[in-house]
Amino acid sequence: MRRCIKCKTPTGIFIPHHKLSLCKEHYVEWYQQRVETTIRKFRMFTRDDRILVAVSGGKDSLALWHALVSLGYEADGFIIDLGFGQFSEDSIHVSQKLASSLGRPLHVMDLNKEFYSINEIKKKDRRPICSICGTVKRYFINLYAKKLGYQVVATGHNLDDEVAVLLVNTLSWNVEYLRRQYPVLKEGNGFVRKIKPLCKTTEMENRTYVEVNEIEFVEYKCPYSKGATSIEYKKFIEDLENTSPGTKLRFYSEFLRKVYPLLQKGVEDQGVKPCKVCGEPTSGEVCAVCLIKQKMSG
């Protein structure tokens, strides 16, 4: 039986790539400390900033919200009701439960009421559903953060997500995307600051954190997530990690340390300007959400 390295209590929690055994109490302390270190290292925000956590009802975003509030940050939740039946209902239900136990507000936006449901849009838009959903979510999260007076939006992207995206972009040398793969996207040009405080914690670490804290979350995936290529990449990365623990963290951290700064040299402003219709930031004349609106109205 392994014992906690701090208090010597017998424990089943072991983190291979850090070679750490911790009891529940010390695991929570270690996890929160790791999140705090990431926030400070990348200068994500200060105690004066109001943070809006984009939650989905999944383990990662709920772990993030719980950890930020436990660390003393002013962090509230935001969820979009995507209208995906039981999945959306469950997602909102667990997020509301956490909101009450944290004593923080959860803002819920009903996409169907305020815009169009994803399923309706899909009937007139031939892009993959996740691409439509991603565009719409990014737009409304940014818009709501500004409307509600939050300076920062935090998302629950974890190390596994970041490594999968990094691998995909490296395999095709997609320099434009690699140039933007950083845990902080600065505010400006109509965008609030976007941050990923869980970029150095794995999916498994987030799962352990919610389980230890008895936070209810939606265990099953969105009904439209099937076939996402990132799942295949994640399996491949997991095999590498099992053979050589620490590979994921090294790949990502060394990219940020050695490659990311090189990619910033000589980068011009991306040419973001206000959308001619709604005034929200876009790289074209009319933003992607206004283009959807135009398609929907015929």
Annotated binding site for Zn(2+): 4, 7, 23, 26, 275, 278, 287, 290
Tokens of 232: 């295949």
Residues 79, 92 contacting (CB under 8 angstroms): yes
**Shortest Å distance, C-beta 4 to Zn ion:** 3
Residues 297 and 176: their CA atoms lie apart, in Å, by 33
- Residue 152 or 287 having the CB closest to Zn ion: 287
Q: Which of 69, 98, 111, 133: binder of ligand SF4 (CB under 6 A)?
A: 133
Nearest distance from residue 137's CB to ligand SF4, in Å?
Answer: 7
Q: Which helix (H) or strand (E) holds 167?
A: helix 159-171
Q: How long a stretch of residues is the chain? A: 298
Among 108, 130, 263, 278, binds ligand SF4 (CB under 6 A): 130
Number of residues forming the site for ligand SF4 (CB under 6 A): 7
Cα(63)–Cα(28) distance, integer angstroms: 11
Residue choice 9, 37, 86, 225 for contact with ligand SF4 (CB under 6 A): 225
Annotated binding site: 4, 7, 23, 26, 54-56, 60, 80, 156, 161, 275, 278, 287, 290
Q: Which stretch binds ligand SF4 (CB under 6 A): 156-164, 202-210, 222-230, 290-298?
A: 222-230
For 160-177, b/e burial (b = at least 16 CB within 10 A) is bbbbbbbbebeeeeeeee
Residue 23 as a binder of Zn ion (CB under 5 A): the answer is yes
4 binds, among Zn ion, ligand SF4, none (CB under 5 to 8 A by kind): Zn ion
Which partner in ligand SF4, Zn ion, none is near 275 (CB below 5 to 8 A by kind)?
Zn ion
Q: Does 85 bind ligand SF4 (CB under 6 A)?
A: no
Residue 222 touches ligand SF4, criterion: CB under 6 A: yes
Separation of alpha carbons 9 and 27, rounded Å: 12
263's CB contacts (< 8 A; 6+ apart) are 175, 178, 179
Taking CB under 5 A as the criterion, the residue among 2, 7, 254, 295 binding Zn ion is 7
In the chain, % helix, strand, coil (3-state, to 5) comes to 50, 10, 40
Q: Return the HEC string of 202-252.
A: CHHHHHHHHHHCCCCCCCCCCCCCCCCHHHHHHHHHHHHHHHCCCHHHHHH
148 lies in the binding site for Zn ion (CB under 5 A) = no
Q: Which is nearer to ligand SF4, 129 or 143 (CB)?
A: 129
DSSP three-state, residue 46:
coil
> How many Cα atoms within 13 Å fall on the side-chain side of residue 213?
26
Token pair of 91, please? Answer: 């997602």
User: By CB under 5 A, what part of segment 92-131 binds Zn ion?
Assistant: none
Residue span binding ligand SF4 (CB under 6 A) among the ranges 64-72, 199-207, 218-226, 271-279: 218-226
66 binds Zn ion (CB under 5 A): no
Nearest-angstrom CA–CA distance, 203 and 206: 5
Nearer to ligand SF4, 21 or 61 (CB): 61
Under the rule (CB under 6 A), what is the footprint of ligand SF4? 129-130, 133-134, 222, 224-225
Under the rule (CB under 5 A), what is the footprint of Zn ion? 4, 6-7, 23, 26, 275, 277-278, 287, 290
